[in-house]
Structure 1
Amino acid sequence: MDANTEWEPYRRELVVYCYRMLGSIHEAEDLTQETFLRAWKARDRYDERRASVRTWLYRIATNACLTALEGRARRPLPSGLGTASDDPDAPLVPDFEVPWLQPLPGRYLRPDDGDPQARATGRAGVRLAFVAATQLLPPRQRAVLVLRDVLQFSAAEVAGQLDTTTAAVNSSLQRARAALATASPREEDLREPSAGDVVERYVRAFEAADVATLVTLLTDDAVLEMPPVPLWYRGRVDYGRFMQRVFTLRPGMWRALPTTANGQPALAAYCPDGAGHRLHTLQIFTVTDAGIAHNVVFQDPAVFAAFELAPSL
């Protein structure tokens, strides 16, 4: 078995799987490389009669992730740590001691091409709200949920990957589903990145620092949060008050470059800086038929590097 030819086609989907488990793109890339290293060492023990190469690699990746998660704190977003603020002038002090949930660059997601496996390793199960919610699950429950509901492995396959029984897998899956029943928006309520008319209008209002127009594009209870700052706001009024503060602090025309993250529409925001513009934030939107329901605003150099964003325009 030649790892370069046999395993490399699975790299991207394994990175996405490890990301779903760990909530960190950097750790997901490292764990995928660890998976290949473990597979190379165990290559002589692989039996194609017992499992496909893909199933075997996922077993190794699952064990690597579970080992990495031992004793780890979950990766939250600010809204998972405390109540919303109503003070638009609250100090913006980043807390890099918290292992914040990271976003997933769009380059890791396959376009829908009719292949159920490709769709499973695409947008399903990578939305920020879903990944944040799964962080609340014990790691083995998280693995069962992702392997069964997202990646569509059979209960028997998952039992083999986790060295447990089919009954235990089914029981874990029921508990995980119950825990996440109300944790994230229903899929049918969400808008795809291609249906980005609301986001396009948001971008125009954002670039013009037009808060009055910007807030009309939000749902009534829209959430704005800003890791690594442990601060978040809920509702059009407080969202708008905070954005007015941002534009007052950095007056002038902003620039916003569209992108995608976690299968969701996103933008890279550049603030006025002398004669040009400097990278300010990466913003990821949850869009429903009622408007923009959630904006997670990252201002983290590690996230900027993962998305390969230009530092200035």
Structure 2
Amino acid sequence: MSLLAKEDNDFSALAEPYRRELLAHCYRMAGSLHDAEDLVQETLLRAWKSYDRFEGKSSLRTWLHRIATNTCLSALEGRQRRPLPTGLGAPSSDPTGELEQRGEVPWLEPLPDWVDDESDPSVIAGHRESVRLAFVAALQHLSPRQRAVLLLRDVLQWKSAEVAEAIGTTTVAVNSLLQRARAQLDAVRPSADDRLEEPESSETQDLLGRYIAAFESYDIDRLVELFTAEAIWEMPPFTGWYQGAHNIVTLIHQQCPAELPGDMRMIPLTANGQPAAAMYMRQGEVHVPFQLHVLDVQGGRVSHVVAFLDDSLFPKFGLPSAL
């Protein structure tokens, strides 16, 4: 089918294969799954309206990403960045202290994982690295325009001239924005040695199974042996973050509403290219959505957990409303 066909059905059929990568791109820009879904819808609407002017000088994929980038830039103008608690600048918290909740903060959100069975392993690895929670959190330290330039250049591998044309600036300006963005990102993102283990590896799956079993059996003390010594735990919308296996276990003992084995149930999954688990808490005769845990696994142990207390995320991950 020609890319220049102008029928609506042709456009839908041609654009649909790019929906998921457009979602990932908008998610990296916005740091929000909910916002990214809206931005993709707006992107496709804009593309459909202007499809009769698409001349095929670039690929349809490039054209759609250009529209998506500008849609994101317009939407993000004047908006707050989306942090995690560790990005607020405060020191680690006392696990025995009071929890402070800030629901008005637009917190970073996780992204459901997707990998095509036929994808090349290097493509899968590249996709996962580009949506890793720590990387997306680091992007939030950049201005939207810096984010756009860095993602188009370093993730999508566009040339500076292509980026300049896409966002309406000069190649010199693009190179300047990219240099500043890389410098800022290097100051906050994980180091090159900070590689995560693949979520589907047998070692990671075994660790995730033991992690889930510790919660479901309410053997919280067993978690100490699963965390690294300097592990971090954070749980937006609470502002505190906690470092060290023993501090994390103390926090869970102090604050977790569960009291008995079976009060918590968990479903294993993947998010942001990382092992994850959806936690359900007993409420009467059923278990209801409570937290969504996204784990960093390094050297056979858990080095970081972000436990999102946002039950509106559960349907986005295809999870049941109750167990």
TM-score (norm 2): 0.88
1:45 and 2:53 are equivalent in the alignment: yes
Pick closer, same or farther for the CA change 1:192–1:115 going to 2, 3 Å. closer
Deviations, residues 210-243 of structure 1 (Å, cap 9, x unaligned): 2222111111111111111222211112101011
Deviations 1:179-232 (A, max 9, x none): 111423346521110121222221222222222221111111111111112222
Cα distance change, pair 311–44 in 1 and its aligned pair in 2 (3 A): closer
Q: Is the Cα contact below 8 Å between 2:112 and 2:316 reproduced in 1? A: yes
Contiguous gaps of at least 5 residues in structure 1: none
Instruction: Give runs of aligned pairs for residues 236-255 of structure 1, distance below 5 A.
Output: 236-247=245-256, 249-253=258-262, 254-255=264-265
Is 1:137–1:176's contact at 8 Å kept on the other side of the alignment?
Answer: yes
**Partner in structure 2 of residue 68 of structure 1:** 75
Superposed, which structure 2 residues align to 1:200-239 within 5 Å? Answer: 200-239=209-248
Question: Are residues 95 and 240 of structure 1, via their aligned partners in 2, closer, same or farther at CA, if it must alter by over 3 Å?
Answer: same
Aligned CA RMSD, in angstroms, stands at 2.1
Q: Percent identity?
A: 49
Separation in structure 2 between the aligned mates of residue 265 and residue 210 of structure 1, nearest angstrom: 21
Question: Aligned runs of 1:153-232 on 2, under 5 Å?
Answer: 153-186=158-191, 189-195=195-201, 196=204, 197-232=206-241
Deviates most, 26-35 or 150-159: 150-159
Q: 1:117 to 1:104 in 2, by over 3 A?
A: same
Cα displacement string for residues 134-188 of structure 1 (whole angstroms, at most 9, x for unaligned residues): 0110111101111111122222222221122333222222221211114233465
Distance in 2 of aligned mates of 1:288 and 1:279: 27
Native 8 Å contact 2:130 2:155 kept in 1 = yes
Structure 2 residue 119 is the aligned partner of structure 1 residue 113: yes
> Does 2:276 match 1:269?
no
State the match for 2:3 in structure 1: none
Alpha-carbon separation, structure 1, partners of 2:157 and 2:301: 31
Aligned length, in residue pairs: 309
Query: Equivalents in 2 of 1:106, 1:90: separation in Å?
Result: 34
SS of the aligned residue for 1:124 comes to: helix
In the alignment, residue 95 of structure 1 is paired with which amino acid? R
Q: Does 1:58 align with 2:68?
A: no
- Asked if 1:94 is matched to 2:101, the reply is yes
- 8 Å contact from structure 1 (residues 227, 297) kept in 2: yes
Distance in structure 2 (CA, Å) of the matches to 1:27 and 1:110: 24
Q: Is the 1:76–1:132 contact (alpha carbons within 8 Å) kept by the matching residues of 2? A: yes
**Pairwise CA distance, 1:76:** 0.7
Tell me which amino acid in the other structure corresponds to 1:19: Y
